[in-house]
Chains A and B, each alone.
Chain A
Amino acid sequence: GAGVSQSPRYKVAKRGQDVALRCDPISGHVSLFWYQQALGQGPEFLTYFQNEAQLDKSGLPSDRFFAERPEGSVSTLKIQRTQQEDSAVYLCASSSPREVEKLFFGSGTQLSVL
């Protein structure tokens, strides 16, 4: 595709619901990152994939957060039993093996937990 695509663009969940956020990276991009961005803050690292392997998940805030990338392309970030503090914009970024230091970001999914 032309860029990193994230869906849905907006998600409203009731506290306690499970949500799934999708990221479709640029074709051929090996590295994929998830970030959480609170209002007025910079992106905070959540997790990193290289192909289908999740090499770093040290930023996931609790065991309610789970990410996968089973075929090394599309990735899903799942949040179970959402809490109000999970409200944020979730950003996905990918990079090419030929230009590993250039991240391409999606527009993000804005999650609001009521």
Chain B
Amino acid sequence: GNSVTQMEGPVTLSEEAFLTINCTYTATGYPSLFWYVQYPGEGLQLLLKATKADDKGSNKGFEATYRKETTSFHLEKGSVQVSDSAVYFCALRSGTSGTYKYIFGTGTRLKVLA
């Protein structure tokens, strides 16, 4: 079946450091891929997405590229800020309009120190 695997946390970085959170997936067909973020005390919210191979999603300085050959969608940011401290979830969506199903990874907690 479909699944998402992401690196375990917590990840602790200093402000302005480079961030990579790895995500790989297993899926039949051509899923859409997502990164969701959950800030402390808030609900999950969409950070970025990519719907086909080689697409690059980007938002708030974060980027991720849909790599079909390596079945990966790694999240990167060149210079993290304290405000980026949150839990990041990689996810895929498979199926058609009658059978949409989103599958989430276990989440990676990021802590950025000033």
Contact = CB atoms under 8 A, between A and B. Distances in A.
B44 A91 contact: yes
16 contacts: A33-B100, A40-B106, A40-B107, A42-B91, A43-B44, A43-B89, A45-B101, A45-B102, A50-B98, A56-B99, A101-B34, A101-B51, A103-B36, A105-B45, A107-B43, A108-B43
Query: Interface on chain B toward A: helix, strand, loop, or mixed SS?
Result: strand
Interface in B100-114: 100-107
A93 B34 CA distance: 15
Contacts of B98: 50, 55
Contacts of B44: 43, 91, 93, 103, 105
Nearest to A33: B102
Contacts of A102: 46, 49
A102 B35 CA distance: 11
B55 to A, nearest CB: 12
Contact of B99 (A55, A100, A107, A108): A55
B25 to A, nearest CB: 13
Question: Interface residues of B toward A: which range?
Answer: 20 to 34
Contacts of A31: 100
A106 B49 contact: no
A105 B89 CA distance: 13
A103 B107 contact: no
Contacts of B104: 35, 42-44
